[in-house]
Structure 1
């Protein structure tokens, strides 16, 4: 057992290290994804839109009774700007707008489901 587990260590070589820690490295990309989904209501919104192909703002408000209209609108705009959801305006009166996951949003869902499974397999320790 004298062999080191090298795949768990940060590379020492400058070029290899930049691949992990540099501005276009793994850490930067994972940090970007975590920023995209951070926010109290972003994950509940994403999971609801994963369960339903499209939802109106009023449906989301009913499903998440503790969220305010302002916070819902803010998180929907941020998710839309990050390309995870799409807003569809029907141009009707009264206004009719629906939200749904984009292809990048759908491709993120297996990762979120894996995170859920990780959490189930590794419960919090008391204390």
Structure 2
């Protein structure tokens, strides 16, 4: 039964296994980032904020079809608490709030672009292999 557990077969020396699987290992860090961006609308929100330096809630709602105000607010709060998005209240009446990416949010762009390229190349590889 123990042999069927594949996550214990990480190709590292046994004394270095914590580097990958420990509480501060690679798996924990990658899982944390995936948790930050999981949610149906988080990636569309992040990519819109990559495209525009600052956006109001109404702009995000216009640009992302089928996204409700409630879910947008929820996702923006989660992204803010994860340190990826900053909320800026401009102190006007009626309330004027803008959202922008933080430094951490901007640093996430190359990671997401790498994931996009992996997806593109993986899709092509899968199609090519199935054709052979």
| Same fold flag (TM > 0.5) | yes
Q: 1: CA distance between counterparts of 2:93 and 2:10?
A: 59
1:64-114 CA distances to partner (integer Å, 9 max, x unpaired)?
A: 120110000000000000000100001111000000000000000000001
Q: 1: CA distance between counterparts of 2:13 and 2:111?
A: 29
Q: CA deviation at 1:38?
A: 0.2
What's 1:42 paired with?
Answer: 42
Secondary structure of the 1:122 match is: helix
What's 2:11 paired with?
Answer: 10
Gaps of 5+ in 1: 1-7
Q: 2: CA distance between counterparts of 1:65 and 1:33?
A: 25
1:43-63 CA distances to partner (integer Å, 9 max, x unpaired)?
A: 000000000000000000000
1:3-55 CA distances to partner (integer Å, 9 max, x unpaired)?
A: xxxxx943242x30111100000000000000000000000000000000000
Aligned length: 119
What's 1:93 paired with?
Answer: 93
Aligned-residue Cα RMSD (Å) equals 1.8
Secondary structure of the 1:87 match is: strand
Gaps of 5+ in 2: 1-8
Q: 2: CA distance between counterparts of 1:46 and 1:21?
A: 29
Q: 2: CA distance between counterparts of 1:86 and 1:70?
A: 18
What's 2:68 paired with?
Answer: 68
Stretches (4+) displaced over 3 A: 124-127
Q: CA deviation at 1:122?
A: 1.2
What's the TM-score once normalised by structure 1's chain length?
0.88
What's the TM-score once normalised by structure 2's chain length?
0.85
